[in-house]
Structure 1
Amino acid sequence: MLTCKEQVARSSDYLDGQLSFRERLMVRHHLMFCRNCRRFIRQMRLMQATLRALPEPPVEGVEALAERLAEQRRKDSPP
C-alpha cells in the first residue's frame, strides 16, 4: 500500500489520468482506507474545476508586449 506521501506525489498524475493501470489501482486502494487523502483528492478536484471555470487571459503577441514595455520605459525615464 502507498504511504500518504507517495499518494500526494501521484495525485496530479492520477487526476490527469496519466498513471498506469497498476498505479491507479494502488492509488485507489490507498484512497479506500485513508480519509485524509480522499479529502486531499476532493480538494484537488475542486481546485481543478475552479481553475477551468476562470476566464482565459487574453493572449498577447511578443511584439505587442515588447511595445508596451518600451512605452512604459519611455514614460518612466527622466527627460
Structure 2
Amino acid sequence: MLTCKEQVARSSDYLDGQLSFRERLMVRHHLMFCPNCRRFVRQMRLMQATLRAMPEEPVPGVDDLAERLSAERQKHNTQP
C-alpha cells in the first residue's frame, strides 16, 4: 500500500489520468483506507474545477484591486 506521502506525489497524475493501471489501483486502494488523502484529492478536484472556470483573459483592474487590498491588509496588521 502507498504511504500518504507517495499518494500526494501521485495525486496530480491520478486526477489527470496519467497513471498506469497498476498505479491507479494502488492509489484507489490507499484512498479507500485513508480519509485524509481522500479529503486532499477532493480539494485538488475542487481546485482544478475552479481553475478551469476562471476566465482566460485577466479581468481589467484586478491587479490594482489586489494591490489596494494588500495595502489595506498591511495597514490593519500594523495598527495596535
State the TM-score, normalizing by the size of structure 2.
0.71
Distance 1:39 1:9 in 2: 15
Cα distance, 1:35 vs. partner?
A: 0.2
Cross-structure match for 2:52: 52
Runs of 4+ deviating beyond 4 Å = none
Cross-structure match for 2:37: 37
Gaps of 5+ in 2: 59-80
Instruction: Report the AA paired with residue 14 of structure 2.
Output: Y
Distance 1:49 1:12 in 2: 13
Cα distance, 1:57 vs. partner?
A: 2.0
Cα distance, 1:20 vs. partner?
A: 0.1
Pairwise CA RMSD of aligned residues?
0.8
Report the number of matched residues: 58
State the TM-score, normalizing by the size of structure 1.
0.72
Instruction: Report the AA paired with residue 40 of structure 2.
Output: F
